[in-house]
Amino acid sequence: MAQVSSADPHDSAEQAARIEKRWAIVIVGIMALLVAVTIFTGLHWAMMPPSRVETIDPSTLHVSGEFVESNLGSAVEANGSVTVRIIGQQYSFTPQCIVVPAKTPIVFRVTSADVVHGMLITGTNINSMVEPGYIATFKTEFDQPGNHLMPCHEFCGVGHEAMWANVKVVDKDVFAKMAANTRRLSCDL
Amino acid sequence: MNSERPRLISLRNPWFTASVGGTLVVLLFSMFVGFIWLPSAQNDALFKGLLDSICSAAGVPRAWLSETSPPVTPQQPVSSVVLTPEMLIGPDTRGSIGRGATLALRCTMCHGARGVSAANTPNLAGQYGPSIYKELRDFQSGARTSAVMAPMVVGLGDQDLRDLSNYYASLPRANSTSAPSAPDIVATGAPMRNIAPCGSCHGGMVNKLGAPWLSPQPRSYLKDQLEAFAQGTRHNDISAQMRNIARNMTPDEIDASVGYYAGNK
Amino acid sequence: MISNKRLVLAHFWLAFGVFGLAILLGEWQMFIRSPLHAWIRDPDLYYRSVTAHGTVMGYVFPTLIAMGLGYAISELALDQPLVGRRWAWVGYALIIIGSIAAVVPVAMGLDSVLYTFYPPMIGNAFYYIGVVLVVVGSWIWVALMGINLHVWKRAHPGAPVPLAMFANVAGAYLWAWTAVGAALELLFQILPVALGFTSTINAGLSRVLFSWTLHAIVYFWLMPTYIAFYTIVPRAIGGRLYSDTMARISFALFLVFAMPIGIHHLFADPQVGAGFKFVHSVFTALVAVPTFLTVFTICASVEIAARLRGGKGAFGWLKALPWDNPQMLALAFSFVLLGFGGAGGLINMSYQLDSTIHNTQWITGHFHLIFGGAIVIMYFAIAYDLWPHLTGRAMLDLGLIRAQLWLWFVGMIVLTFPWHYAGILGMPRRMAYYDYTAPGMAAEGITVVMSVIGGALLVLSAILFFTVLYRNHSATRVEPAPFTFSKAVHEPTSLPLALNGLGLWVALMIVLTITNYGYPIVQLIGLHNADVPAVFVGAKR
């Protein structure tokens, strides 16, 4: 390789290096700012991605434990919060229609009975993988009543395109009335 | 090169100290934030305290369900069969099939001499073994009710059920009379009503473990079962996987799918 | 001077050949799930197509490009004939065998598991074996690149390693290490189940291992593009490379920071703790640094070209650039696409913003913009630059080339921008059809139609691309000027050890992989109660 030593005097190389260094500092600064924003939002809104690792045997969900069929859906807890338990399976969520109150702390407990699924609730930032062997636990709160779609967002087999559920967020009082009659709620037909 | 290598990994090499030191600083800082600072903002007892916060943020498995109402137990018996891909694979499949053939003599009245039924009872020849086994167990436990089948399975041991399942699975399937082209509800389902194509579970495209092969089965049997799933009177499908489908089908769609899978039976 | 022209040409033609087939699959997928087509009556055909498209575009195509370019660089930059020519052909053969072994069962419907494998779904073993063979074939290339550099260094003790070769070997080592994640998943988790030795698998562990490969693989795809930015474009447009040192630092940083960041794909996963998610998020921010350095250095290099051509003023020099030069055009398009894709990427890597778009069509849009857009457009540019040297014939269709690049650029934007939007609306990925009549989904139909149009432009562009290459093979014979790489303003006469070899950076890469991946992997390996039964696909009818 030709080693062209620059005919240029020494300082043009130095000047170039100086400009580069300045640029590098600016870039690192921008990235540091982005990370700082992440940290700030993480502290201010206590926002953090799922971190609650817990295992479960997917082949016996229906036999015993909290994911037996009669225990799925929304449960009102003593402290006023609502726990929603959902199973993802080829090719539906059970319950198919999830009903939750607005302006109430909600804990989701979701797991899969077979393959990897995912769930997102349109119009919100609720988004979780649903994996066999693990329980996804996350906390959230819905601002206002409304209807949302809840597709499975991870390829789970040939019927994946049909795996859609619905989420109904209802007024707190309406939900309380519904909960008076039954211990586990869903809006399945 | 050998003589130069020590100089590369050396505290006197500014490239080494800067890159390793810089990386280390970033790593330690991000670990501090990710494992200690951010978790501390979480409103959750299991993130409080240094050790808890580090363990939880590291992903150590623990029970995350605190203060909760006790599980609601089922009102009616549900299936308790555990399905796994190798559930019927034993050391002696051939022997199992042989024993099954003997046991099956009691079934011939309704299900035909070779598993092909002449009556309105299901064809069992070539049915997926796990599907047969699951239904037999559900008849035994009462998860699936049938006045005819309940007495038939009394007294059969678990190995008997396995043998029967292996036997019927080994028989050649009845010829499905030239299939008409699939109606929409069978081929595409209805995604927004959460109805997947039938073949994505019942064979044709994929067989979902525990789901039966449907082609051909008697028309009235298929229709009765679909309607029973839709109304919830049959509820031995694990975690409502079939009720979820059936209750969203219209009567016309039930007829169309039954017609397709029954062929001219 | 390339002495193994057939070897290089074979790699490029095979790469572009499979690319041509896969792009047709891609456009077919867009079409059949758009409102322009009724719902497909066998959705498995769609998933087979997605599996094939992803496998070819993700594994086979870019690997062959990197290999072909790598062999060319080794000879051109080091000015020595390739050591291990036979082995190179063995690697090539392995890739052909592996591709066939993988694609045939996919076409038969036995392996509709997508290129991301998705255990516990398990398909026919031949698909996975095929993928392993492709990787093994490419590892032969990795070894050859290392050996060739070593041979050269021994013959030229202390001399600065040419930048192109430095970058090329950095890419090879990056690939060698990043492929290990998926290799572990395939060899120790998936294949034992697919071959019937065991029937359970830890799906959470699989996802972690796959993320080891899946993010860094993007930087492996990117390497040929960056090599072109630094070592081809400035020369082709009559400029100088602004800084050789900065180029080396960029490649070294890619090597270090591309690896320990893959868990940002798993932000929404329940099996990894938030601590590691945050650490990976921070390192993902750092990997943007070498890209920004590159943008600066290349813009400066381009400015030099403009000023040498008489460009004046703070921005006036832009007008003096040789815009009719395909390399200039490709570079500009690549930068624009990289800019948009990178901006989207900043959202994906954010610990909190990700949850709005995780696993939606936004992601599909993002990586098509980066890979299909910024990266592949430079693959075209590389081919245009190298072809006369491989065929010994003149590249005459400059107009056609410009049209091809424009079409690709516009097509890629029309394809991916609507995807991003659909993702924000919550449209999930990888579905064979959507019911656009449903309330809440009506707005998504039009975005898919736009993407179909974008895809059609890309197909058209690909046809033009093949026309140009094909016509070159029968163009007038010329004796092309000797191939050169860009010269830096200040060519290095000697380099610090750290920038004249990759030892330090490879070591840092491995150490960071251990710190960032070690605990999650070891912990999940021990988590036997998360071993779940396999779900076999496509086997029983």
What would the mean pLDDT of C438-442 be, rounded to a whole number?
A: 84
pLDDT at C300: 94
Look over chain C and give the mean of its residue pLDDT values, rounded to a whole number: 95
Token pair recorded at residue C292: 């920004």
DSSP H/E element including A120: strand A117-120
Cβ within 8 Å, pair A49-C354: yes
**Interface mutation target, options A66, A97, A114, A158, chain B, most CBs of B under 10 Å:** A158
Chains that touch A (3 or more CB pairs under 8 A): B, C
Residue written as token pair 């609601």: B72
Contact C207 A41 (CB under 8 A): no
Residue A129, token pair as written in the block: 């993988």
Radius of gyration of chain B (CA): 29
Instruction: Give the pLDDT of residue B173.
Output: 87
CB-nearest partner of B34 from C39, C275, C441: C275
Q: Which residues of B touch A65 (CB under 8 A)?
A: 71
User: Which tens digit of pLDDT belongs to each residue from C371-410?
Assistant: 999 999 999 999 999 999 999 999 989 999 999 999 999 9
ipTM here: 0.92
> Does the distance separating the beta carbons of A136 and C360 come in below 8 Å?
no
Per-residue model confidence (pLDDT) at position C494: 87
Task: Write out residues 201-230 of B within 8 Å (CB-CB) of C.
Answer: 203-207, 209
Task: Provide the pLDDT for residue B5.
Answer: 47
- CA pair distance C147, C70, nearest whole angstrom: 12
pLDDT exceeds cutoff 50 at A4: no
Gyration radius of chain A over CA positions: 25
* CA atoms within a 13 Å half-sphere pointing along the CA-CB vector of B2: 0
User: Does B65 contact A137 at a Cβ distance shorter than 8 Å?
Assistant: yes
d(CA C161, CA C168): 11
* pLDDT recorded at residue B65: 79
State the best of A8, A91, A108, A120 to mutate against chain C, taking most chain C CBs within 10 Å.
A120
Mean pLDDT of chain B: 90
CA C372 vs. chain centroid, Å, equals 8
Q: List, as ranges, residues 71-130 from B with C-beta within 8 Å of C.
A: 83-86, 128
Q: Is C269 close to A23, i.e. CB distance below 8 A?
A: no
**DSSP secondary structure letters along C233-298:** HHHHTT--BS-HHHHHHHHHHHHHHSSTTGGGGGTT-TTS-HHHHHHHHHHHHHHHHHHHHHHHHH
Structure tokens at A21: 């260094």
- SS3 state at A135: coil
Is the model's pLDDT at A7 over the cut of 60? Answer: no
Query: A38 to chain B: nearest residue by CA?
Result: B38
Q: What does the block give as tokens for B63?
A: 């029970």
Map residue A73 onto helix, strand or coil.
strand
Burial degree of A173 (CB within 10 A; 0-12, 13-18, 19+): exposed
Q: What local confidence, expressed as pLDDT, does residue C365 receive? A: 96
pLDDT of residue B263: 80
Among A59, A67, A77, whose Cβ lies nearest the Cβ of B82? A59
The verdict on C492 touching A (C-beta cutoff 8 Å) is yes
- Amino acid (1-letter code) at residue A151: P
pLDDT of residue C351: 77
User: A32: nearest CA in chain B?
Assistant: B26
CB contact under 8 A, B196 and A91: yes
pTM of the model: 0.95
Which of A17, A69, C451, C472 has its CA nearest to residue B244?
Answer: A69
The beta-carbon neighbor of B39 closest among C154, C274, C435 is C274
- Looking at chain B from residue 12 to 71, which residues have their Cβ under 8 Å from any Cβ of chain C? 13, 15-16, 19-20, 23, 26-27, 29-31, 33-35, 38-39, 54, 56-61
Q: Cis peptide leading into A91, omega within 30 of 0? A: yes
Res. A1 pLDDT band, cuts 50 70 90? very low
In DSSP notation, B48-93 reads -SHHHHHHHHHT-------S-PPPPPPSS----PPP-TTTT--S-H
Instruction: Output phi, psi for B203, to 5 deg.
Output: 80, 165
* pLDDT averaged over every residue in chain A: 91
- Tally A–B CB contacts below 8 A: 156
Which of B44, B200, B248 is the closest to A159 by Cβ? B200
Q: Each residue of C152-204: pLDDT tens digit?
A: 999 999 899 999 999 999 999 999 999 999 999 999 999 999 999 999 999 99
CA–CA gap between residue C284 and residue C291 (Å, rounded): 12
Interchain proximity B59–C276, CB inside 8 Å: yes
- Measured between beta carbons, the chain B residues lying within 8 angstroms of C515 are 27
Residues in chain B within 8 Å Cβ distance of C497: 4, 7-8, 13, 15
C49 touches chain A (CB under 8 A): no
- Catalytically active residues of C are 215, 219, 366-368, 429-430
Residue A149 has phi, psi (to 5 degrees) of -90, 150
| pLDDT value at C277 more than 60 | yes
Instruction: List the one residue out of C242, C122, C257 whose CA is nearest residue C532.
Output: C122
Mutate to test the interface with C, among B4, B10, B27 (most CBs of C within 10 A): B27
Contacts by C438-445, CB closer than 8 A, 24 or more apart: C438/A149, C438/B192, C440/A122, C440/A147, C440/A148, C440/A149, C441/A149, C441/B192, C445/C34, C445/C35
> Which helix (DSSP H) or strand (DSSP E) does residue C342 occupy?
helix C326-349
pLDDT at A110 over 60: yes
Give the C-alpha separation, C38 to A121, whole Å: 26
Model confidence at C442, pLDDT cuts 50, 70, 90, reads confident
Express each pLDDT in A172-181 by its tens digit: 999 999 999 8
User: Is the Cβ of A176 closer than 8 Å to some Cβ of chain C?
Assistant: no
**Sign of the CA dihedral running C142, C145, C148, C149:** negative
The superfamily CATH assigns to domain B93-170 is Cytochrome c-like domain (1.10.760.10)
B interface test, pick of C278, C289, C427, C510 with most B CB neighbours within 10 Å: C278
What are the φ and ψ backbone dihedral angles of C202, each rounded to 5 degrees? -90, 100
Q: B184-262: which CATH number, 1.10.10.370, 1.20.140.10, 3.40.50.1370, 1.10.760.10?
A: 1.10.760.10
Q: What is the pLDDT of residue A3?
A: 37
CA-based end-to-end distance of chain B: 82
Q: Do A158 and C492 touch (CB under 8 A)?
A: no
CB C260 within 8 A of CB C355: no
Which residues does chain B have within 8 Å of residue C272's beta carbon, measured at their own beta carbons?
A: 59
Q: What is the pLDDT of residue A9?
A: 52
Contact indicator for A135, A54 with CB cutoff of 8 Å: yes
3-state secondary structure of A84: strand
- C-alpha distance from C248 to closest chain B C-alpha (Å): 13
pLDDT along chain B (265 residues), means of 10: 60 90 95 93 85 92 80 89 89 92 93 88 93 96 94 93 95 74 92 94 89 90 96 95 96 94 75
What digits encode the pLDDT tens for the residues C317-357? 999 999 999 999 999 999 999 999 999 998 998 878 888 99
Q: Which residue has the tokens 């996963």?
A: C269
Q: How confident is residue C541, by pLDDT bands cut at 50, 70 and 90?
A: low
Percent of chain C with pLDDT over 70: 99
Give me the pLDDT at residue B12, please.
Answer: 86
Q: Which of A153-157, C18-22, C348-352 has the lowest mean pLDDT?
A: C348-352
| Domains along the sequence of chain C with CATH | 5-536 (1.20.210.10)
CB contact under 8 A, C275 and B207: no
